[in-house]
Chains A and B, each alone.
Chain A
């Protein structure tokens, strides 16, 4: 899933500026599951904005809504009326949803209320870990189902580097917590699979043109197009 974190309230207030009619638009898919931008979080943010406006003595109308998925035109149609009525829409969807909304209702002012951060999975309740870099050329068939592109801090194709220690990476999270060394994990799992030889293959440089380095990507499924 795509994960996102809500921006700090101060930053959101700055983005809203002096606009009088504010719509907080949640998205009930990925960002709802990661508890950052679903209908419930949209409702909470709307209340916070109303409280702040009242404290500052500003007359601001704040409403909230949510689309089933902000990244699809049809679902945006369902909340069109509220969007049209707002001076500014604070979207709580991921970057894809925010841009879909902004494009469909252009030039409506649409602001991001969240920071989209990764393609990850919930490791336990309320904890998410990055799992995929959408690099366009998956290698985990050779790396025991563990992605070296985003789970190795250096995206090594031939790890581990000299900074691996007791199964941990030399880099720590911004909260100074240990990060597992992806290549230590890969090695352990390859051994368990009896595929140790894959560790000793010299992998060539990766083709980054299939990632965002090749420019914005587009996928077309000719066979799935309506005839």
Chain B
């Protein structure tokens, strides 16, 4: 594939196009104007992931914006996947921000609806939700491919974007989950990342539906992995985090170890086992490792999963 054939020419797009199993990570920006946090997280992940998601006011909590943080990550050697939620911006802001991100060299964008304000630290905020994630994907695709704003006006230089989306195979109604991915593909998504997978049989069942619809040939699917740091965290996710499906056996397996280092080691071991198993699933193009405030665990997991070295991209 020549450079001109790429949609954005990001590392992520190039590596996915070669068929190499991709590894992406995740960075949460800080809740203050301390830019060094992203710098440090980027340095930690550099060389171990092909690109890193920069969250956008995750769980509705205000943090350094994903554009500035994404820029900082790229300055520190890690390609950014800038997250963009529909909760905080209307269509004007979402278009302005993507143009701004493009001028800063950000090429990967992940289009999300966003967690509801009621979960975050500003529950009294007005939710924008001018567009939904599917509208957002389509808007960015049209900006990239048609050089058109959402209103139809034309632009002289289009942003070169590799457009991502998320999907939760564990949300209900189950029979809609693969079909909703299809809608996102039709809207223009190039890659997708799943919600954290703990229930492998259910994920495999979802992938069967995805393959039956031929969707794995139309979009690059990255399977979401979250290493468990402690049994308490697993239990919390099982009971309280909406959309999470954590089987009791997983909680029990971690809880069987002594609190602290032993549980952490078991959590990493479990993550490695899951990555190896996911790599065998037809249609899975890579893993997306979401080590929430545990970025330091990522290099070890990637190494142990046999995914090093990461490919160099021209």
Q: Which residues of A contact B118 (CB under 8 A)?
A: 209, 214-215
- Say if the beta carbon of A205 comes within 8 Å of chain B: yes
Scoring B117, B124, B125 by chain A CB atoms within 10 A of each residue's CB, the highest score goes to B124
- Say if the beta carbon of B116 comes within 8 Å of chain A: yes
Number of A-B residue pairs, CB cutoff 8 Å, is: 23
Q: Which residues of A contact B77 (CB under 8 A)?
A: none
Q: What distance in Å separates the Cβ of B57 from its nearest Cβ neighbour in chain A?
A: 15
Q: Which residues of A contact B124 (CB under 8 A)?
A: 205-209
Main secondary structure of the interface of A (DSSP, over half): loop
Range, interface on chain A: under 10
Bits for B92-121, please: 1 = Cβ < 8 Å to A, else 0.
000000000000000000000000111000
New A-B pairs, 7, CB < 8 Å, besides A209-B125, A211-B126, A214-B118? A206-B124, A207-B124, A208-B126, A208-B127, A213-B117, A213-B126, A215-B118
Q: Which residues of B contact A205 (CB under 8 A)?
A: 124-125
- When C-beta atoms are compared, the residue in chain A nearest to B129 turns out to be A213
Q: Which of chain A's residues 63-99 have a Cβ closer than 8 Å to chain B?
A: none
Q: What distance in Å separates the Cβ of A154 from its nearest Cβ neighbour in chain B?
A: 12
Scoring A205, A209, A215 by chain B CB atoms within 10 A of each residue's CB, the highest score goes to A209
Q: What distance in Å separates the Cβ of B147 from its nearest Cβ neighbour in chain A?
A: 30
Q: How many angstroms between the C-alpha atoms of A206 and B127 in the bound complex?
A: 12
Q: What distance in Å separates the Cβ of A96 from its nearest Cβ neighbour in chain B?
A: 22
Q: How many angstroms between the C-alpha atoms of A47 and B118 in the bound complex?
A: 49
- Say if the beta carbon of B123 comes within 8 Å of chain A: yes
Name 12 A/B residue pairs within 8 A (Cβ), A-sorted: A205-B124, A205-B125, A206-B124, A206-B126, A209-B118, A209-B124, A209-B125, A213-B125, A213-B126, A213-B127, A214-B118, A215-B116
Scoring A205, A208, A215 by chain B CB atoms within 10 A of each residue's CB, the highest score goes to A208
Q: Which residues of B contact A209 (CB under 8 A)?
A: 117-118, 123-125
**7 nearest interchain CB pairs?**
A208-B126, A207-B124, A213-B127, A213-B126, A209-B124, A209-B123, A208-B124
Bits for A167-204, please: 1 = Cβ < 8 Å to B, else 0.
00000000000000000000000000000000000000
Scoring B117, B126, B127 by chain A CB atoms within 10 A of each residue's CB, the highest score goes to B126
Q: Which residues of A contact B127 (CB under 8 A)?
A: 208, 213
Q: How many angstroms between the C-alpha atoms of A219 and B70 in the bound complex?
A: 43
- When C-beta atoms are compared, the residue in chain A nearest to B124 turns out to be A207
